[in-house]
Amino acid sequence: MMSLFAQVPVSTPEIQWFYLAPILILALGGVLLITLTSVAPVMRGRHISALFTVATGVLALAFLPFIAARLDGLVDPVAGQGGRPAVDLVSSALVVDHFTLWVSGLISVAVILVAVMLDGYLEREGFESPEWYALLLISASGGVILASAEDLIVTFLGLEILSIAVYVLAALHLRRSESQEAGFKYFILGALSSAIFLYGIAMVYGATGSTTLTGVAGSMTGRNAAGLSPAVDSSLVMVGIALMLIGFGFKVSAFPLHIWTPDVYQGSPTPIVGFMTSAVKVAAFGGMMRVFLVGFGGTFASDWRVLVLFMAGFTILFGSFLAIVQTNIKRTMAFSSIAHAGFMLVGLYAAASPVAIGDTGKRAVLFYLLAYTFMSIGTFAVISIVGKKGDGNHSIEAYRGLAKREPLLAMAFTVLLFGQVGAPFTAGFFAKFRVIAAAAQVERTEAYILAGVAMLGAAVGAYLYLRVVVAMFLDVQESPSTEMADSADETLALVEVRALEVPPATLAVVLLAAVVTLVLGIFPDIGSGALAEAALALVR
Amino acid sequence: MFLNQFLFFAAILFSIGVYGVLTRKNGVLVLMSIELILNAVNINLVAFGALHQDISGQVFVLFVIAVAAAEVGVGLAIVLLIFRNRRSINVAEADLLKG
């Protein structure tokens, strides 16, 4: 009874809440949103959920410069991070460094832009409800956890928080059977790939006796409890690395784990596809870079970089060539996103090289992620508008004459598509140029071949984007509308007649994305300081 | 017992799970197959934890169990949604999306 009232001090672990702010804001924002909308009817009004989500994203974004400033002000950077400013949090489960901040920033931007276009989409489809936004925020918090995880347990948790919310989002268009099918396919294959990923973690843990990335990297030189040296008796580690590569390869949709992408992108609600191509891809690449470059960067880099080399080459080729035969714009863009993932893998291949080139490679991947986040969100915002009510108007034919009907939208879309082609004066040009240049700097025969394959893929890929651009600037009257002729479906005809409704907020997202694409293409060195810091934070 | 007994058992369980995911036509059985794979991982983690005399392997298993529960919850919800729309949970009939 005494002890109940006696004020005895207990030692509690110190948690530096300030550095955790982005994760906490995003996760609590999602929980708070779903709570408030259940409790207070006022919160269920139009646009309020979207505004709340945007505010949460902006708040998370606003914390990043302050965290960066405090990181730079650290007197004694954590040992083992090569002297780069980094803070280990929650007993080394998470690490906050400039790399974490870069990825968090991209994810927050993606959340803000997707929330804005989701608002117009849900209003058109008549689905306005807060759970879309709550899942978006929770998924984003998982992405930040994945990219900042320093322990493989936390990596897995981040991956699952990121993924499970997106499985639900993919299936959430209740009136479209395609959406549920997409959600189901995404769920089955995603769960399978995370289970395989987990098997890989178990193998690495078995070989090294540690689940932290620094522990895994450090134990490669010593011997474990069974008297084996992981670096010498490497079969377990190699199996583990290969299985984990499968898990990450699935999330970034790399060959041969790209098969799900076109189906899922075609069926899922269009703004959610924008989220998958931006935030999910950024987070998956962030986690992949941290695990592979920090955890397996030292002893085994020369083993897994060969796998990444083949994955990158085939991903680019498959993505570019298979996109040509598609007639559905969402499938086309799915293959294009596969090809983009291939380019980023080229950068990862270069990043696994010795230090100086490695930093070029890391910078190239991080810049590519920045450019692709804006380009893909803008692209899917346009597709979301053109999709019309029901989200089904996605044949490339639907873009015929768009330049005449919606000149502004068509102009912005043209910029975004040219950006994805990699045309000069767009962000896409520098993104592709930098990964290919980084690969060429490796100065090995296979690296030159990879760079050549990447250039071939970029050239072939140009066709698929230009096809859409040409369709937009063709006149409607020039060809008798084929889909009207061969489909007796009256509802389709009705959809055709209905004019395009362009929500101003979604249009603003498209224009912003187009402007950023152009600005980054003309001044590619904007933010290069932060980019360099982020790349240097991943020390091998 | 020897470590390799656990590893072989886990590998067999894993293979059965993957086989189930690839061949089963019933959506719920596919979910159960995924559970088999996750349990194979759990056996691995506990065995390695015992090998290294390290608690983090067993802690990891608890996390995996929790995540598996969340995953099955979402999976069953999606299967239910499909069943409401189509009156069937046959995976082979899910063929609306192709190009």
Q: What pLDDT shows up at residue A503?
A: 86
Q: With bands split at pLDDT 50, 70 and 90, how would you rate the model's confidence at A481?
A: very low
pLDDT band at B17 (very low <50, low <70, confident <90, very high): very high
Contact between chains at B21 and A192 (C-beta distance less than 8 A):
yes
Q: Return the minimum-mean-pLDDT range out of A137-141, A373-377, A524-528.
A: A524-528
pLDDT digits (tens, 9 = 90+) for A174-194: 888 888 889 988 999 999 999
Option in A160, A185, A267 nearest B67 (CB) = A160
Lowest mean pLDDT among A12-21, A117-126, A194-203, A249-258: A12-21
Q: Which residues pair with A95 in a beta bridge?
A: A88
Band (A298; pLDDT cuts 50, 70, 90): confident
Residue-wise pLDDT tens digits, A19-77: 899 999 999 999 999 999 889 887 777 888 899 999 999 999 999 999 888 888 776 55
Contacts of A191 in chain B (CB under 8 A): 31, 34, 71, 75
Task: Please give the residue of chain B at the shortest CA–CA distance from A206.
Answer: B48
Q: How confident is the model at residue A489 (pLDDT cuts 50, 70, 90)?
A: very low
pLDDT higher than threshold 90 for residue A531? no
Q: What pLDDT score does A2 carry?
A: 58
Mean pLDDT of B35-51: 92
Is pLDDT at A498 greater than 80 in this prediction? no
Of the given ranges (A70-84, A106-120, A377-391), which has the lowest mean pLDDT?
A70-84
The whole-number pLDDT of residue A231 equals 61
- Asked if B51 lies within 8 A of A225 by C-beta distance, the reply is yes
A150 CB within 8 Å of a chain B CB = no
- Number of A–B residue contacts, CB under 8 Å: 124
Is the residue at A418 inside a domain? yes
Per-residue pLDDT, A480: 46
CA–CA gap between residue A415 and residue A1 (Å, rounded): 73
- DSSP codes joined into one string, B22-73: HH--BHHHHHHHHHHHHHHHHHHHHHHHHHHT-THHHHHHHHHHHHHHHHHH
In angstroms, the separation between the Cα of residue B79 and the nearest Cα of chain A is: 7
The reported pLDDT for the residue numbered A80 is 46
CB contact under 8 Å between A266 and B81, yes or no, is: no
- pLDDT at residue A229 in the model: 66
Average pLDDT over residues A214-220: 81
Contact A156 B98 (CB under 8 A): no
The H-assigned helical ranges of A224-328 are 235-251, 260-267, 270-275, 281-289, 301-324
CA A362 to CA A147: how far, in whole Å?
14
Q: How many CB atoms lie within 10 A of CB B66?
A: 12
Higher pLDDT: A227 or A17? It is A17
pTM: 0.90
Axis-axis angle for helices A281-289, A98-125 (nearest 10)? 160
Distance between CA atoms of residues A511 and A374, nearest Å = 10
In a domain, A1, yes or no: no
pLDDT above 70: residue A389: yes
Residue A494 has pLDDT above 50, yes or no: no
Asked if omega into A77 is within 30° of 0 (cis), the reply is no
Q: Is the pLDDT of residue A83 over 60?
A: no
pLDDT at A409 > cutoff 80: yes
CB contact under 8 A, B56 and A153: yes
Q: Which domains does chain B have, with CATH numbers?
A: 3-90 (1.10.287.3510)
Contacting B residues, span 28-57, partner chain A, CB-CB under 8 Å: 30-31, 34, 37-38, 40-41, 44-45, 47-48, 51-54, 56-57
Task: Using the predicted structure, report yes or no on whether residue A111 has a pLDDT greater than 50.
Answer: yes
Inside any domain, residue A34: yes
For residue A477, pLDDT beyond 80: no
Cβ–Cβ contact B66 with A under 8 A: no
Q: Write down the pLDDT at residue A367.
A: 92
Strand, helix or coil for residue A149: strand
Q: For the ranges A200-209, A278-287, A355-364, which has the lowest average pLDDT?
A: A355-364
- Please indicate whether, in this complex, the C-beta atoms of B51 and A206 are within 8 angstroms of each other: yes
List of chain B residues whose C-beta atoms are within 8 Å of the C-beta of residue A269: none
* Pick from A315-319, A355-359, A398-402: least confident: A355-359
For chain B, give the mean pLDDT. Answer: 88
| A152-170 helix and A177-208 helix, angle to the nearest 10 degrees | 170
How would residue A488 be classed by pLDDT, with cut points 50, 70 and 90? very low
Confidence of residue A377 (pLDDT cuts 50, 70, 90): very high
**What's chain A's average pLDDT?**
85
In a domain, A9, yes or no: no
Residue A232 has pLDDT above 80, yes or no: no
A181 touches B at CB < 8 Å: yes
Is A458 a domain residue? yes
Q: What is the pLDDT of residue A478?
A: 46
- The mean per-residue pLDDT over the stretch B75-82 comes to 89
pLDDT, mean of residues A222-241: 71
Q: What is the mean pLDDT of residues B60-85?
A: 91
Query: Hey, are the CB atoms on A263 and B45 less than 8 Å from each other?
Result: no
- The answer to whether position A487 is within a domain reads yes
Range of the domain at A76: 15-536
Question: What is the arithmetic mean of pLDDT over A292-316?
Answer: 86
Q: Tell whether A174 is within 8 A of chain B (Cβ).
A: yes
CA distance A92 to A151: 7
- Over residues A388-407, mean pLDDT: 82
Q: Contact A164/B74, CB-based, under 8 Å?
A: yes
CA separation (Å) from A145 to A23, A141, B25, B55?
7, 6, 35, 23
What residues in B contact A184, CB-CB < 8 Å? Answer: 27, 78-79, 82, 91, 94
Annotate A339-386 with DSSP letters as a single string. HHHHHHHHHHHHHTSSHHHHHHHHHHHHHHHHHHHHHHHHHHHHHHHH
Q: For A144-156, how does the pLDDT look when each residue is reduced to its tens digit (9 = 90+)?
A: 999 999 899 999 9
Average pLDDT over residues A479-497: 46
Mean per-residue pLDDT, B26-55: 91
Taking contacts as CB-CB distances below 8 angstroms, the residues of chain B near A178 are 96-97
pLDDT band, very low/low/confident/very high, at A160 (cuts 50, 70, 90): very high
Question: For chain A, what is the domain count?
Answer: 1
pLDDT at A379 (0 to 100): 93
**CA A6: distance to chain centroid?**
51
* pLDDT tier at A397, thresholds 50, 70, 90: confident
Overall average pLDDT of the A254-267 stretch: 89
